[in-house]
Structure 1
Amino acid sequence: MVKGSEKLNDDLILKIIKRIGILSIFIMGFSLILFKESKPIILGYIFGVLITILCFKLLDISIQKAVKLPPRRASAYATGQYFIRYIIYGLVLAVAAKADYLNLGATALGLLSIKIVIVLSSIFKKSL
């Protein structure tokens, strides 16, 4: 991969993460206003957001490595990384379901935050 495209990729990832931060502030603020017992909701959301940001970065690293591999190995590597990320998501949801101090719905919303940010960015026609 060319160095310039890695810089562009890093800028794009940072822009998405910043937008997730802005969205998170709004969601946590609304949670404080709307819910009497908002602590589990906010903690669950933060837990989901942090995990999804880490998995998003893991996806970036996986893609950068996969493009350098021969096609057969790249396919196997990408598939393995795909399953690893979904196992992580499953474990996060299982932990949120078991823990009394985390709200499962808020954790799921946090895990979806990257997708929400990307879709909203395309709806409002802002370039990522």
Structure 2
Amino acid sequence: MKTTLEMILSIVKVMIVVFILVVIVAFLTHTISKELLCGLAFGSIFSILNLRLLSLTLEKAVTMHPGNAQGYVLSRYIIRLIITALVLIISLKAIYINIIGTIIGLLLPKISILIVNLFGIEKIIKGKEA
């Protein structure tokens, strides 16, 4: 069984590929700009940090008593939601960050996980049958 850090690293690898594909599509459709790239990078970096916070929360919650774990996970979830809201507010207020790019960056982990699960990319990378 994979550790949470190994799972995050595999998600990040796919995120990087999807990030590059989004940049290529933006370049081909002539919608690329510095603001869009900053938004993509801002949202993607925050998403990676958010995944890491989630993994740390789950690792700690597994060792706790179920009643305490529920409250701990809920409090950490609310903290992550507040931080996500702050990221979106910063993206809205800053003229050098595109909000659409930030939202796409925030969605990259979900897209990456969906791609890995739908197409079995992890099995293909490791050389196993899909």
Does TM-score exceed 0.5, indicating one fold? yes
Amino acid at match of 1:97: L
Structure 2 unaligned residues grouped into runs of 5+: 124-130
Shift of 1:36: 5.2
Q: Deviations over 1:52-81 (max 9, x none)?
A: 100000000000001111111100000001
Q: Equivalent residue for 1:83?
A: 78
Q: Which runs of 4+ in 1 moved over 4 A?
A: none
**Deviation, structure 1 residue 37:** 5.4
1:105 aligned residue = 100
Q: What is the rounded CA distance, in whole Å, between the counterparts of 1:119 and 1:107 in structure 2?
A: 19
The structure 2 residue matched to 1:19, chosen from 1, 14, 33, is 14
User: 8 Å contact 2:62–2:69 — kept in the other structure?
Assistant: yes
Preserved contact between residue 121 and residue 127 of structure 1 (Cα < 8 Å)? yes
1:44-83 map, 5 Å: 44-83=39-78
Identical amino acids, percent of aligned pairs: 33
Pair 1:41 & 2:44 matched: no
Instruction: Determine which of 91, 94, 118 is the counterpart of 2:113.
Output: 118
The alpha carbon displacement at 1:22 in A equals 1.0
What do you get for the CA RMSD once the two structures are aligned? 1.6
- TM (norm. structure 1) is 0.88
2:89 alignment counterpart = 94
* Structure 1: distance between partners of 2:3 and 2:90: 35
Q: 1:26 to 1:60 in 2, by over 3 A?
A: same
CA contact (8 A) 1:31 1:42 kept: no
Q: CA deviation at 1:8?
A: 3.2
- Tell me how many residue pairs correspond in the alignment: 123
Aligned-partner Cα distance in 2 for 1:26–1:37: 12
TM-score (ref. length: structure 2): 0.87
Give the stretch that moved more between structures: 83-92 or 10-19.
10-19
